[in-house]
């Protein structure tokens, strides 16, 4: 009888963790911010980060990296932007690279993905103190301050 109750309780905890994930900090790299400046707002990135936490992304590229499409106003997702995002960090989600669908080439090259994986792995392992230092140095920018859940 005790085992059954314990299992039910653990199942409920696991289900609530999936339904209500811990809110993570959201960051964008300086190079990503420069690229996205006229294309994507911080609100759009925050909404995309929430979708990523709910495991709603186009491809899992390994090493904690995923590819996420983000719609540009007036174009929808199919003609929009593609982003590479480090999603498995304990302390946050990191927008690393982006490209428009209309840019020359089929997609992110293998070299782009490998480079993003290296950067993502380092950021995902970083401590909060290291992340704060990267923000101070201007390498990272934290977004989604006070962005309300919808």
Q: Which ranges of 20-140 would DSSP assign to H, the alpha helix?
A: 30-36, 42-53, 110-125, 128-136
The domains of the chain are located at: 23-143
The Cα 147–Cα 19 span in angstroms is: 19
Q: Could you list the mean pLDDT of each consecutive 10-residue stretch along the chain, which spans 150 residues?
A: 51 48 84 94 94 95 94 76 93 94 83 95 94 96 69
Inter-residue contact 28 to 146 (CB < 8 Å): no
Across-strand partners of 94? 27, 86
The pair of three-digit structure tokens given for residue 117, joined into one six-digit string: 């994986």
pLDDT of residue 72: 84
* CA distance readout (Å), 68 to 41, 44, 54, 94, 119: 15, 12, 12, 12, 17
pLDDT of residue 98: 95
pLDDT of residue 14: 47
pLDDT of residue 79: 72
* CA distance readout (Å), 3 to 8, 14, 99, 109: 9, 16, 51, 50
pLDDT of residue 7: 53
pLDDT of residue 93: 96
């Amino acid at each position: 009888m005790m085992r059954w109750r314990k299992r039910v309780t653990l199942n409920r905890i696991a289900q609530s963790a999936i339904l209500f994930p811990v809110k993570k900090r959201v960051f964008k790299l300086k190079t990503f911010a420069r690229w996205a400046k006229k294309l994507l707002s911080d609100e759009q990135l925050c909404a995309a980060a929430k979708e990523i936490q709910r495991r709603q992304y186009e491809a899992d590229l390994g090493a904690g990296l995923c590819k996420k499409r983000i719609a540009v106003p007036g174009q929808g997702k199919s003609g929009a932007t593609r982003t590479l995002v480090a999603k498995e960090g304990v302390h946050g989600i990191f927008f690393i690279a982006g490209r428009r669908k209309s840019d020359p080439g089929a997609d992110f090259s293998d070299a782009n993905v490998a480079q993003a994986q290296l950067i993502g792995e380092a950021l995902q392992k970083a401590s909060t103190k290291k992340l704060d230092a990267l923000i101070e140095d201007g390498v990272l920018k934290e977004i989604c301050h006070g962005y309300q859940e919808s």
